[in-house]
Amino acid sequence: MANLVIVESPAKASTIKSYLGSNYKVVASKGHVRDLPKSSLGVDIENNFAAHYINIRGKGDLIKSLKKDAKAANKVFLATDPDREGEAISWHLATALGIAPEKCYRVAFNEITKTAIKEAIKNPREIDEELVNSQQARRILDRIVGYKISPFLWKSVKSGLSGGRVQSVATRIIVDREAEIRAFVPQEYWTIDALLNTAEKKSVKARLVSKGKSKVKLASGADVDAVLAEIGNGDFLCVSVKKAAKTKQPAPPFTTSTMQQEASRKLGFQSQRIMRVAQELYEGVNLGSENGGVQGLITYMRTDSLRISTDAQSAALSLIAEKYGDSYCPSRPRVYKTKAGAQDAHEAIRPSNVQLEPAQIRKYLSSDQYKLYKLIWDRFVASQMASAVFDTETIDFDANGYTFRTSGYTVKFQGYMAVYEESQDDQPKNEHSEEDKNQKLPTIHEQDMLKLDDFDSLQHFTEAPPRFTEASLIKFLEEKGIGRPSTYTPIITTIIARNYVTREGKSLVPTTLGEVTTKLMVENFPEIVDYTFTAQMEDKLDGIEHGESTMEGVLGEFYASFAKSLEKANETLSKETIEVPAEETDIICDKCGSRMIVKNGRFGRFAACPNYPTCKNTKPLDKAEKSEEEKKLVVADFKCELCGGDMVLRSGRYGSFYACANYPTCKFTKQRSKDIGVACPKCGAKLVSKMGRNRTLFYSCERYPDCDFSAWDMPTNEKCPNCGKMLFRKKGKDMYICHDKECGYKAEAPALTQAEEN
């Protein structure tokens, strides 16, 4: 073997293999191969926080195979993801596989295209030790916090709980917002609109804004009556007409945070789903021979940079001029300023090839892939376009010293809005409201007198701050500097899985357990759940990456203070047990008449009688009673893509499948399948193993029914030496057979390893 390339995922391996020649073998590590042990702390605090890493259970055969390949190769290229996590995986691989330094090369690329891959292979570098240490420091810090705090939660609240450096802060953010909502007292206020008529009998509505230079506050109906009495029923004098052409700039291309926010608002995707689909687009999709075969469609999706390469910018401007005209190109190429403290190693998220328009390649993409790719493509192209121009008009009227105002605007030039408009959910309102959009006011001149038709007074109440959604929580975390692009999704997933937070529609709501745990953390570990402290710690960890500080120094400074909190908590919490208040329901127990409470079981939340064990009555909260068979169902390690509930394994006519535990309220299902690490020969997507009729295993494309490839024999990454097509392993035999039956090639295959059989 000449050269070995090791990447993280099998899908990426098959894409890269198609770009490199026969001199390269491309294999996947399937993520980390080493980590801290689960059964112990794994960190020697007294010895400069030395970490004890072990091979991850279940990866023994894979490590053995990778070690054999590395030993046989002339050069080993470690091509894991281009971030601190990917750098650490490369470092662990080099150590675990015993790769000699003289033949170990680190390569990184921001996009998986033929040009980018070949350029990276031509320009390898050494493993960045400072980047590795930055990741190690985060891992060690999170391990220390989790392993030292969790036992206090077990003793004081309940077993099975966990505390974490960032997850506890995220839970506190949601708990604090709930407290704000409960404490909020609505304030009454009123608005007054005057319905006016021009001399040409055209109507216009104007709102009371001030008296002289003072803003008018209307706190009650009595205030309204007093103002209307002062104004009377006289004419309204036009005192000011202001017309202007105003411009609106496009939003910058996506970062990880803004992509998650916008995809949540516009597509309704949860963050976990967004990142999964983005990973698929980054790793590559087969677009057919007419579009160059397998292509990575977007740049690396974990970034907080707004930088765009000059080549990508030039390509976008050429497309804009050709598709929309020169007037849609800005006078100068747009450059967006990345916020202070952002990691600028990668570009913003953009299409790898802007010429691949979403509509052009739609038939090769799954529904989710198409929606997210279109969102990214639209946002990027719009970010490089000319500003939109509006004709605005604002007219002020005087009525006995009171000022009423009306405004409107029309779109003079669409500019970037011809392609994309940023969602306004969870964002500050524009200067002009949506009601004013495309509203052309009647011709009115200064000193014109308008007749009063009527007044329209409306009562309003101030509203409590809204609960966080995934989109608004991610935005808040980013603004406060808590977490980094790669951590937003795991943070949300963890606090929901731990039952500290639950979803109600799109809203994130703290559970009673989450509130009790947060109170305990605030009282005993205030620094851990302090927003500012957490953000400053992120900056210190980033400093290790930039060579501004050392891993040992940052960890030592943190632990000196943390150890004192642990000692104090040990004295306080060892003496008390905190009761988690029961969450009451509106359901009355039909056996004893008590108000039932919410309990959490293996299959989710249910209502139970508070008089247990005297009364053992239970009821489902949102579906019919579960049968005894359902109570034995296996819960999957992923959540429902529609409602976020548990997915459970069920049996059907054609074998087993996963279904939402909230059926029939939610009817989402997903066929049971397993990624086999092989690309579909028809479309390039992942091939998965499934259970068919009579419990018979078969293989099909994950994009079924969009792609109808399927086979009973096991597809492999091996190629036929006669015709170059895919080789299959004959079912039940150690034999390769060619995918092309006319070729007829057959050969003995090596026996399957235990991992492959599983």
The residues assigned a catalytic role are: 300
Residue 51, SS3?
strand
| Residue 422 CB neighbours (<10 A) | 19
Contact 208, 404 (CB under 8 A): yes
Environment class of 658 (CB within 10 Å of its CB; exposed 0-12, middle 13-18, buried 19+): buried
Long-range contacts of 625-630 (CB under 8 A, 24+ apart): 630/603
Residues linked to residue 726 through DSSP beta bridges, in sequence order: 719
Report the C-alpha gap between 156 and 159 in whole angstroms.
9
The answer for residues whose C-beta is within 8 angstroms of residue 484's C-beta and 6 or more apart is: 304, 343, 538
Please report, for the chain, how many H helices and E strands are present, in that order.
18, 35
Contact 3, 72 (CB under 8 A): no
Residues 69/70/73/76 CA torsion (nearest 10 deg) = 130
The answer for residues whose C-beta is within 8 angstroms of residue 359's C-beta and 6 or more apart is: none
Q: What is the radius of gyration, based on Cα positions, of the chain?
A: 31
Where are the alpha helices (H) located in 184-255, listed in sequence order? 221-231
Report the C-alpha gap between 528 and 387 in whole angstroms.
44
Q: How far is the first Cα of the chain from the last one, in angstroms, to the nearest whole number? A: 27
Residue keyed to tokens 């650490």: 88
Residues in the chain: 758
Report the C-alpha gap between 471 and 376 in whole angstroms.
16
Report the C-alpha gap between 646 and 756 in whole angstroms.
28
| Residue 571 CB neighbours (<10 A) | 8
Report the C-alpha gap between 256 and 392 in whole angstroms.
35
The answer for residues whose C-beta is within 8 angstroms of residue 699's C-beta and 6 or more apart is: 676, 687, 688, 689, 690, 710, 711, 712, 713, 714, 715
Where are the alpha helices (H) located in 8-59, listed in sequence order? 10-17
Report the C-alpha gap between 649 and 658 in whole angstroms.
5
From the list 243, 241, 216, 242, the residue with the least C-alpha distance to 230 is 216
Residues linked to residue 323 through DSSP beta bridges, in sequence order: none
Report the C-alpha gap between 726 and 217 in whole angstroms.
76
